[in-house]
Chains A and B, each alone.
Chain A
Amino acid sequence: MTNKYLFAGFGGQGILFAGKLLAYKGLTDEKQVSWLPSYGPEMRGGTASCSVILSDSPVGSPIVSNPNILIAMNLPSLDKYEDTVEAGGMIFYDSSLIEREVKRDDVKVFPIPATKLAEENGTPTLANMIIVGKVLAETGDFTDESVMAALKKVISAKRADMLDVNLNAMKLGRDF
């Protein structure tokens, strides 16, 4: 079983961070893991993406060009990557930033108003964690313990106060 995730959105939305959390979740679940960011002259407001592969067998190429799970955090990302998703795959997207619907009818679609939920929750910067909560609930297994273990790997000890805030944001996504 291999899941090929492609996260895409604006720089500054926490795309790489969300991907990293997912990679660490895979590591704590004893999966084979790879994480590959797009890198370039992009900065806040530009485009960012990252490929994450979680598998039961060794990962070959770390490059995800045909994801079975796409997470699109803005319209340009959905426009660019919608057609690359494998048939039978899943598309998660931030429906508070993307007004159009997904055109594909051979994939499962999960519209989540992540940015709106994040603002209502008083954590406007955690839309990424809300959507990753939903992604984990649908594609991995979401237990508080394993998610917390992964969070502890990506959030430094100095910011320990952010652990629960992030976990709660992820639960918000999970329960949406």
Chain B
Amino acid sequence: MADKVLMKGNEAIAEAAIIAGCRHYFGYPITPQTEIAAYMAKRMPKIGGCFLQAESEIAAINMVYGVASCGLRVMTSSSSPGISLKGEGLSYLAGADLPSLVVNVQRGGPGLGGIQPSQSDYFQATKGGAHGDFHMIVLAPASVQEMADLTVHGFDLADKYRMTSMILADGTMGQMMEPVSLDLNVKPMPEKPWATTGTKLERFHNITNSLSLVPEELEELNFKRYQRYAEIEKNEVMYEEYMMEDAEICIAAFGIASRVAKNAIVEARAQGIKVGLIRPITLWPFPKAPFLKATEKVHTFISVELSMGQMIEDVRLATECRRPVTLVNRAGGMIPSPEQILEAIKNAHKNGGAN
């Protein structure tokens, strides 16, 4: 299995999900993630799984709720407008403490927007995603290999903490092909004694439910859930540091933006500018510690995003506003160029943090 194959990012997610033991996929086609649904439609019937094209995104996320209640690995995928439709279901999954994997291959917005790549659902993904106090674990792949690896990891984390893991990708990541190894690290699925699998007259009924009309009890559930979130913030943060050892300028970027940023960093380094990259792999929990630590040597942070500037707020919070944070961005389906990032690096170098 060490052999590498060329796959689209979307296909890598689908195959990795199958390898992780997912046998239930519900979805509704939307560019630029349709290859996930197409792949599942082809593969699931051959391996005794279930592919179902739902009548809408809302139906699909509620089917996810049903299968998750039964304790099985289940997923849905969509792109930005479709994810908004799933919002209600995401909140219900959180309220019922059900594990699931949801993929958002983002496109430009707001509204129906366009179909070209974007990262403008960052707020939606990391700050909750719908009504009520809740979080999703948000994983941001920056290569086709990570599309596969993080899908498996997402299922593991979802089961471990009984919550939704979201893969937050973008149109580029979904559409591009790169070599990928499918020799993936799949852990055994934990026991799920809470699942609604039938009592067999041996135990009390299990119930999955997000309705709780006694405020004292609902508060208690929220407190307990946030204790779990605190544990996740402590244990599950993932990030990559690139050329940060001696960096005086730090770029913050995830997904495709981090790939473009690396080109700019290599070029800036060739011109003698000490610049590096912190790439959050988990967007929630956000890698606060490495950013705060970087303020010791870094005089300027640059957030590179395919949005009007969303992650930049988390960078400012993480660095406690000790250093200026500037934004390099394109929006609406456009992607920042290495030259645009290089220009910002040169400006930061010239100003030396004096803003």
Contacts and interface: CB of A to CB of B under 8 A. Distances in A.
B177 A34 contact: yes
B176 A62 contact: yes
A39 B335 contact: no
B230 interface: no
**Chain A contact residues: helix, strand, loop or mixed:** mixed
Contacts of A39: 31-32, 115, 171, 175
Contacts of A10: none
B6 A23 contact: yes
A32 B4 CA distance: 11
Interface string A35-75: 11101110000000000000000011111010000000000
Interface string B1-31: 0001010000000000000000000000001
A78 B337 CA distance: 22
Given A20-B6, A27-B6, A63-B172, A35 B260 contact: no
A33 B176 contact: no
B176 A27 contact: no
B266 interface: yes
Interface in B139-183: 171-172, 175-179
Contacts of B177: 20, 23, 33-36
B290 interface: no
Interface in A14-40: 20, 23-24, 27, 32-37, 39-40
Interface residues of A, number: 20
Contacts of A24: 6
B186 to A, nearest CB: 25
A153 interface: yes
A62 B263 CA distance: 10
B338 A33 contact: no
B6 A35 contact: yes
B172 A62 contact: yes
A61 B260 CA distance: 4
A24 B4 CA distance: 11
Interface residues on B, range: 20 to 34
Contacts of B256: 61-62
A153 B172 CA distance: 23
A60 B266 contact: yes
Contacts of A37: 175-176
Contacts of B178: 33-35, 59, 62
Instruction: Name the residue among A23, A32, A36, A60 with the largest chain B CB count within 10 angstroms.
Output: A60
A60 B31 contact: no
A121 B124 CA distance: 55
A176 B111 CA distance: 51
B311 to A, nearest CB: 18
A36 B32 CA distance: 13
A34 B31 contact: no
B77 to A, nearest CB: 16
A64 to B, nearest CB: 11
B175 A27 contact: no
B262 interface: yes
B205 interface: no
A43 B171 CA distance: 18
A20 B171 CA distance: 18
6 contacts: A35-B178, A36-B177, A60-B260, A62-B172, A62-B256, A63-B335
Interface of A: 20, 23-24, 27, 32-37, 39-41, 59-63, 65, 153
8 closest cross-chain pairs (CB), A and B: A35-B177, A60-B262, A60-B263, A61-B260, A36-B176, A61-B259, A61-B263, A62-B176
